[in-house]
């Protein structure tokens, strides 16, 4: 079964590229290559979260119900995928200990969240419609060598 986050993002991409049109679940499913039952559940979640609105009757379906320039991707990711938590490496032997792998994973999670907060649904539709490459910059700072990142405190 496809991941709800992936289905939801693609559905929002379709709706955002056609903001004045109401698209049926069938139209969206055909466009993104999904089954209607799975997509329908995701669209219901997006509707409940206020990202889309359902329109009943002939010509009905779903329309975008948010302002793309004002909708951070983090809101969409958390609506569809749950909150992002830094959880360390997950090994029982590392609980309550300093763990390089866990701290690295936590920092990558924080960098990803900063990226999602800095991008909006409008940015996503630019990537979605034009196949622009996604670039997430991660600076490597080595505190043990006395380096400090100029934009972040430790």
Instruction: Give, for all 154 residues of the chain, the pLDDT tens digit.
Output: 678 888 999 999 899 887 888 999 999 999 999 999 999 999 999 999 999 999 998 888 999 999 989 999 999 999 998 777 777 787 888 878 888 888 888 888 888 888 889 989 988 888 766 767 777 777 666 555 555 555 555 4
Architecture in CATH for domain 4-145:
Orthogonal Bundle (1.10)
Task: Name the residue ranges covered by the structural domains of the chain.
Answer: 4-145
Asked if 28 contacts 39 with a C-beta cutoff of 8 angstroms, the reply is yes
Which residues have C-beta within 8 Å of that of residue 97, sequence separation ≥ 6?
none
């Amino acid at each position: 079964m496809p991941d709800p986050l992936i289905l939801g993002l693609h559905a929002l991409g379709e709706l955002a590229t056609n903001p004045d049109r109401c698209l049926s679940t069938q139209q969206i499913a055909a466009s993104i290559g999904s089954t209607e039952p799975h997509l329908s559940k995701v669209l219901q979640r997006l509707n409940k979260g206020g990202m889309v609105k359902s329109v009943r009757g002939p010509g009905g379906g779903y329309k975008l119900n948010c302002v793309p320039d004002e909708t951070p991707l983090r809101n969409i990711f958390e609506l569809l995928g749950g909150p992002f938590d830094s959880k360390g490496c997950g090994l029982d032997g590392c609980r309550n200990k300093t763990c390089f792998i866990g701290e690295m994973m936590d920092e990558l999670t924080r960098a990803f969240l900063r990226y999602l907060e800095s991008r909006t649904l409008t940015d996503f539709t630019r990537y979605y419609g034009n196949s622009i490459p996604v670039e997430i910059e991660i600076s490597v700072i080595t505190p043990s060598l006395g380096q400090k990142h100029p934009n972040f405190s430790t």
